């Protein structure tokens, strides 16, 4: 039976990527060595790293003002790394838009380095919308937001406007659509949604915003050190970078982000249409803020939740149970999720 994996992350990747990665584990590039035993300083892996960086720059149209890094520690390390690199040591301030768990955690880390101003929040309705109409102070060192919330199923359709460096956690919607990178000071994303396996963290940083805090920054957390070392200040996550490179090649071959975005819009439209037209289900997210990556929904009769999950399991559908913060169900439909898997879920929903 075909498995339909709707996991919020680590998530599915294209089968072609899995197959190439599997071969590299046994024999990488006809070296007679496994990918995971070669030196990260070898010409073979340096070529992989350089290609991964070049593909990120090409696919996202990264301007020359920005640098691309593959680091470790996930988005959770970037919560503090972005803050320590941008918030001034003396009287520094940072503005945060609170749309759920991840932005809350990011703001918590930033408080270690300066004053944090929450300029907007959707907590009043358990984060089922994206705040609008807020004002951003002009004297802040950064403005931070989470572009897509995996737990609550919301997504920014337009990005905040500010003169301060704009910092975005794009872990769950990076590479799902075109992005104007020039508008951002820092974009960071854990790889394990649309890019690659867990272990690598993509960071795109504008170089001229660095080195202005007046504080001492530990080497591992200093973007300037990491840029100088080309992400190899210490041993990088070799396997995760290689698989990310394979997936970037795959994305390019599909036609790039405009093609990928169209497919994502179509998949989401299919699922939201079923939710809206099926009287047994409901989605409480503001329609204009619905995520194209993480679709959350509830049964009106919650006593049937277990029955629905059992039906999904019988059909080969996995990981659709909702996060404990909202309950119900969640279908994560990242880039590699085929329409046939979305249709398989819809077929089960129709029976309810």
Number of alpha carbons in the 13 Å side-chain half-sphere of residue 185: 22
Active-site amino acid positions: 102, 169, 193
For the four alpha carbons of 24, 30, 33 and 37, in that order, the dihedral sign comes to: negative
143-146/93-98 β-pairing: parallel
8 vs 187: CA distance, rounded Å: 20
Is pLDDT at 2 greater than 90 in this prediction? no
**Six-digit token string for 270:** 């299919």
pLDDT digits (tens, 9 = 90+) for 271-282: 999 999 999 999
User: Tokens 């358990």 identify what position?
Assistant: 126
Q: What angle do CA 107, 112, 114 make, to 5 degrees?
A: 80
pLDDT at 218 (0 to 100): 97
173 vs 344: CA distance, rounded Å: 23
Whose CA is closest to 330, among 153, 103, 204, 127? 153
Q: Which residues pair with 98 in a beta bridge?
A: 121
| Omega prior to 10 cis, within 30 of 0 | yes
What separation in angstroms does the CA of 15 have from each of 120, 243, 320, 333, 341?
41, 12, 21, 15, 14
pLDDT at 260 (0 to 100): 98
278 vs 117: CA distance, rounded Å: 41
Cβ neighbors of 160 (< 8 A, separation 6 or more) are 97, 136, 143, 145, 166
Number of alpha carbons in the 13 Å side-chain half-sphere of residue 104: 10
**CATH entry 3.40.50.620 includes domain 15-254:** no
148-149/143-146 β-pairing: unpaired
Across the chain, what does the average pLDDT equal? 97
Q: What's phi and psi for 229, nearest 5 deg?
A: -85, 5
pLDDT digits (tens, 9 = 90+) for 77-118: 999 999 999 999 999 999 999 999 999 999 999 999 999 999
What separation in angstroms does the CA of 67 have from each of 127, 228, 321?
33, 10, 38
Quick check: 281 and 320 in contact, CB under 8 A? no
Cβ neighbors of 330 (< 8 A, separation 6 or more) are 6, 8, 150, 151, 153, 294, 295, 296, 297, 320, 321, 322, 323
How many residues are given for the chain? 352
Domain boundaries, the chain: 15-254, 256-350
186 vs 208: CA distance, rounded Å: 11
Is pLDDT at 53 greater than 90 in this prediction? yes
pLDDT digits (tens, 9 = 90+) for 199-240: 999 999 999 999 999 999 999 999 999 999 999 999 999 999
pLDDT digits (tens, 9 = 90+) for 285-338: 999 999 999 999 999 999 999 999 999 999 999 999 999 888 999 999 999 999
pLDDT at 1 (0 to 100): 78
Q: CATH assignment of 256-350, given 3.90.1150.10, 2.60.40.10, 3.30.230.10, 2.40.110.10?
A: 3.90.1150.10
**Six-digit token string for 115:** 């004053």
């Amino acid at each position: 039976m075909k498995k339909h994996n709707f996991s919020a992350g680590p998530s599915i990747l294209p089968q072609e990527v899995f197959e190439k990665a599997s071969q590299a584990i046994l024999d990488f590039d006809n070296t007679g060595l496994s990918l995971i035993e070669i030196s990260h300083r070898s010409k073979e892996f340096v070529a992989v790293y350089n290609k991964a960086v070049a593909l990120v720059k090409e696919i996202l149209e990264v301007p020359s003002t920005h640098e691309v890094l593959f680091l470790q520690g996930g988005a959770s390390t970037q919560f503090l790394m972005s803050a320590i690199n941008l918030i001034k040591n003396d009287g520094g301030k940072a503005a945060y838009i609170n749309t759920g768990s991840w932005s809350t955690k990011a703001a918590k880390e930033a408080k270690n380095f300066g004053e944090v101003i929450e300029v907007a929040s959707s907590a009043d309705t358990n984060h089922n919308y994206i705040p609008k109409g807020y004002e951003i102070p002009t004297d802040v060192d950064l403005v931070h937001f989470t572009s897509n919330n995996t737990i609550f199923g919301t997504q920014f359709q337009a990005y905040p406007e500010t003169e301060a460096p704009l910092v975005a956690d794009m872990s769950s919607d990076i590479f799902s659509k075109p992005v104007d990178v020039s508008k951002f000071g820092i974009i960071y994303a854990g790889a394990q949604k649309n890019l690659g396996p867990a272990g690598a963290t993509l960071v795109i940083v504008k170089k001229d915003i660095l080195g202005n805090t007046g504080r001492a920054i530990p080497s591992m957390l200093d973007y300037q050190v990491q840029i100088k070392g080309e992400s190899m200040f210490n041993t990088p996550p070799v396997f995760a970078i290689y698989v990310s490179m394979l997936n970037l090649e795959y994305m390019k071959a599909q036609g790039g982000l405009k093609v990928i975005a169209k497919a994502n819009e179509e998949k989401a439209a299919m699922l939201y249409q079923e939710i809206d037209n099926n009287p047994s289900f409901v989605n409480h997210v503001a329609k204009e803020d619905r995520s194209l990556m993480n679709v959350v929904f509830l049964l009106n009769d919650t006593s049937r939740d277990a029955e629905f999950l059992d039906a999904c399991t019988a059909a080969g559908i996995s990981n659709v149970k909702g996060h404990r913060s909202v309950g119900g169900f969640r279908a994560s439909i990242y880039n590699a999720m085929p329409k046939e898997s979305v249709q398989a879920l819809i077929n089960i929903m129709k029976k309810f």
